[in-house]
Amino acid sequence: MYRVTAAPIDGLSLGASYFSAEGVTGTNRQTDEAGGYYANYAIGNFKVGYGQQFYAPAISGNAIAAATAASPIVYNYELTQVGIEFAINDALSVSYMEEESERKQYVTKVNAAAGASPFGRANATFESDYVQLAYDIGGATIGLTNIDSSNSGYATGANTTKTLATMSMAF
């Protein structure tokens, strides 16, 4: 695994990481591989951030040939996040984040023209919006979060709304 972080100017933090499976044996069309990058900037009471992550799961040698619409083979995930936070005072903050994750998969074997891919592909997008309110009191943080998701779990039409109340204590 490789990781690089930097803070080139006051308030700015940058980072990137990469992972690749080592020592994999057998016939593999694709080995585990992941990576991503981010940029965060804080000025005064505001913070903004952006990041992307990528993941390619391992695929065995014969798995792609067995892919069907009912039993697809995932070959890639891409996640994009963007968010903003405002500290109202030392104890209270409010934030908003959007997250989009795309799953790419092989679905069916098709007769392709010379030079074309012999596999069908399908993409599914899972999107979520988060609104968070946090209040710090002594060694405790009380939070309230609302999450609106579309195509939850990459299932078309599976839209959900969740509200979470949390409390954490520092010991």
Domain extents for the chain? 2-169
pLDDT band, residue 121 (cuts 50/70/90): confident
What percent of the chain shows pLDDT beyond 70? 89
C-alpha pair distances (Å), 170 with each of 101, 138, 140, 158, 159? 32, 9, 6, 37, 35
- DSSP per-residue letters across 65-107: GG--SSS-EEEEEEEEEEEEEEESSSSEEEEEEEEEEEEEEEE
Assign domain 2-169 to its CATH superfamily: Porin (2.40.160.10)
Closest among 66, 50, 52, 58 to 20, alpha carbons compared: 58
- Please, what is the average pLDDT of the chain? 89
Report the alpha-carbon distance of residue 74 to residue 121 in Å, rounded.
Answer: 10
Q: Is the pLDDT of residue 117 over 70?
A: no
Q: What is the pLDDT of residue 110?
A: 63
What token pair was written down for 19? 């992972």
Q: Is the pLDDT of residue 111 over 70?
A: no
**What pTM, to 2 d.p., does this model score?**
0.82
Q: Is the pLDDT of residue 47 over 90?
A: yes
What token pair was written down for 46? 């505001």
Q: What is the pLDDT of residues 57-95, one digit of tens each?
A: 888 777 766 777 778 888 899 999 999 999 999 999 999
What token pair was written down for 158? 């599976």
Q: What is the pLDDT of residue 26?
A: 65
Give me the residues paired with residue 18 across strands. 2, 35
Mean pLDDT in residue range 33-52: 97
Q: What is the pLDDT of residues 147-156, one digit of tens each?
A: 999 999 999 8
Q: In the block, which residue shows the tokens 């039993």? A: 71
